[in-house]
Amino acid sequence: MSKKGNINKNIPVCNVDLKRYSGIWFEIAKLPARGQNGLSNVTATYTPKKNGKIRVINKGYRDGRKKGIKGYAWPRDRSCRGGLYVRFFWPFKSEYNVIRLASDYRYAVVAGEDKDSLWILSRKPEMNMQDLEDILYFVKAEGFNVRKLVHTPQSGKRRL
């Protein structure tokens, strides 16, 4: 399918309060992504900056060794704060789309530009099964391949 138009695009939730969204998120599951495979105890921390950008710190463990990357994000359009760009390496940037968000911000579903990237995030290291089932139903209906989702182990041994 073409990436042009809305055929394969991920439509963000526009009314995201970025201050409420900030803080630590635990990765519950994701579609396989280069450089992110084999990680456990993955967290993403978002911190608003005075210039309107958001500091992004992703951390995890692979083979007992801490891994991490820092970058920043910024809204693509002021009228839709759930659609952002994220940059870890200059000059490359990627879309970061909050496509589903619990009203109390207990979980978020984030996708890239197309159906090949997806992350399920939670404010806690584990997610309630009803929320996870609802999310899986939603992402499948949106055209994501839920059979390819990889669970991210979260243990209390190595809190980031």
What is the CATH classification number for the domain harbouring 27? 2.40.128.20
Digit-coded pLDDT (tens) for 54-66: 999 999 999 989 9
Residue whose entry in the numeric block shows the structure tokens 């951390």? 59
CA 92/CA 97 separation, integer angstroms: 16
3 within a domain of the structure (yes/no): no
- For the chain, what is the domain count? 1
Does residue 157 sit within a domain?
no
In a domain, 9, yes or no: no
* Listed range (33-37, 68-72, 74-78) with the worst mean pLDDT: 33-37
Q: Are 50 and 58 in contact (CB under 8 A)?
A: no
Q: Which residue segment(s) compose the domain that 131 sits in? A: 18-151
pLDDT tens digits, 8-40 = 678 999 999 999 999 999 999 999 987 778 899
